[in-house]
Structure 1
């Protein structure tokens, strides 16, 4: 399985776009990568902003940003670990929504054509199409995802692609319709000529699954919120990846975390892996942070590496 952590920082400062590196946002260091490699992790999800890697619609990629990403790609993959390039934009670009007249779908596929061309011939680079699409028709998101996949493959890039659902890609709401047609209906129709993609879901354990509280509903909430999504994966023959989940340091949440990771391990016919949310240099006192030190939270996760 892919097992690891999100390394945050490059997606920070979203109110200042593109913003100033080291002032509004920062890339994680190779030292942080090495710490988690030494702890036994093998996968790193790297969130970054579309507006920073491509400053103008249809424009060339920003060389400074690309260099920072490439440094992490090289460091991680040379140690036989995996990196997920995560466009962390909620299906937006400078506030415009993918599929609207101001941001046509082919602008999104243009981004991915250019990113894919930079990272061909490295099967340890995984391509995360978009973090948590929201506020759009699920069918529009599917069309955008399929267009991006087509562009990626046309560049000769055969890497694993992570495809999220609509409505923040919550596992618990995979069959819901509050965000539009349920993901469970629409995401059956992903088109990848290489058939090398994973369905990315996210899941938190608080009352509304938003990840904004340090309190977890119960010790079994992580499992119960994954069951229907897991059964959908098994029924459709698709594979899942849990891109985000996080807990605070309390006994109920730590138990929920352990129970969920055990459930994923026991359902490896459906699940390909996970990345915890989150680590990185600028979190401060964030309740879900996975710090670079031995903690009860890190020890709980290490039991499933």
Structure 2
């Protein structure tokens, strides 16, 4: 039962008139095929080790489900092969990684007219994705001789932004789920990415992550190895165009009532987003900032349908949130479950789960997601906060 104090806070945080601009789904697959021995699957083979989207899936989501937003994953180690190092030199020949990624983004944004969130799925690490999220050197870690520098991260973002600067429907996501690193360093890496994107002449919306896997529930808390709360540093970001929002992830489950980890691996939902996001919402309001929940999910059961509905209703009621993307569709999931218990399945239309039953697109989506898709989403113009 919520305390009276919490009920009062939640009510106060829901008074504003909100408008969600971007609503959709993650497209996961560009980060596939690398687990195990370091170097496995690099650079990999397109369509075998990794793939970005099924165009027919994007068509279904846009034409039938009327969403307007896709978060599309890739690996920095494939975009910038290890022999080059992180920076402005991209993989142009070996499996044509950039061109295949650009084709996916162009199908979403040019062919279908939706918005695409570019997602380097690297946990703010580079050089060894073999055991994500924990392998690889933290970008900017000056005590690690194998680590890419913050300056190199800026060079990478400058080049990537230059290539998409004229596509108004791109959104730049700085990095997926930084964690277990100094929050000051995340601020430095975020800031150099923002500076590089703007220096490249790209005016589009940027999403900046925080620490602790950029979790909304822990935004004002110490995370990792006594790392400072994201709330102490992320309000220091500076964007000359004032077109940067905060990138948040928020899962709803725990393991059999014993272990709360917000990892998205559990079938039952027990963590109410309205309560867990309340401190973040207040922080956003106090700092005049906006946020996008770019990862969340729930299992295939009525309990999770209710928790997802509560979350999306909360986001729609609070002006601090401008969008969301649920995890995850993607061309290579097959019968595997990307989220929330082994039997949920993916959000890829027409697939089955591991039990040979319809996947989350046939169950979670119509029961919890489809009813919360606004009819007045942003359909034109440069990606922005309004």
Whether the TM-score (by the shorter chain) exceeds 0.5 is yes
Deviations 1:193-219 (A, max 9, x none): 11101101000111221111111116x
Q: 1:288 to 1:202 in 2, by over 3 A?
A: farther
**Following the alignment from structure 1 to structure 2, what is the Cα–Cα distance between the partners of residues 291 and 155?**
35
Contact residue 124 and residue 138 of structure 2 kept, 8 A: yes
Contact (CA 8 Å) 1:246, 1:288: kept in 2 or not? Answer: no
1:90-133 per-position Cα deviation (integer Å, ceiling 9, x unaligned): 01111121112331101111110110010012221000000001
Deviation at 1:14, TM superposition (A): 3.0
Unaligned stretches of 5+ residues in structure 1: none
TM-score using structure 1 length: 0.95
Specify the alignment match of 1:91 in structure 2.
124
CA contact (8 A) 1:5 1:279 kept: yes
Q: Secondary structure at the match of 1:122?
A: coil
* Root-mean-square deviation over aligned CA pairs: 1.4
Aligned residue pairs total 302
Residues in 2 aligned to 1:184 and 1:288: alpha-carbon distance in whole angstroms: 34
Which residue pairs with 1:185 in the alignment? 232
- Structure 2: runs of 5 or more not aligned: 1-20, 128-135, 255-259, 338-343, 351-360, 374-386
Is residue 77 of structure 2 the alignment partner of residue 51 of structure 1?
yes
Q: TM-score, normalised by structure 2?
A: 0.76
- Relative distance call for 1:186 and 1:288 in structure 2 (3 A) is farther
Matches within 5 A, 1:221-232: 221-232=272-283
Change (3 A) 1:288 1:229: farther
Residue 148 (structure 1) aligned with residue 198 (structure 2): no
C-alpha displacement of 1:82: 0.1
Aligned to 1:77: 109
Return the alpha-carbon distance in structure 1 between the equivalents of residues 299 and 109 of structure 2. 30
**Would the aligned equivalents of 1:40 and 1:302 in 2 still touch at CA under 8 Å?**
no
* Pair 1:251 & 2:302 matched: yes
Give the conservation status (yes or no) of the 8 Å contact 2:25–2:71.
yes
**Which shifted more, 282-291 or 202-211?**
282-291
Q: Which protein has the larger Cα radius of gyration, Structure 1 or Structure 2?
A: 2
Q: After TM superposition, what 4+ stretches of structure 1 lie above 6 angstroms from structure 2?
A: none
Any idea what the Cα deviations from partners look like across 1:156-193, whole Å, max 9, x if unmatched? 01111010101100000001112311001110101111
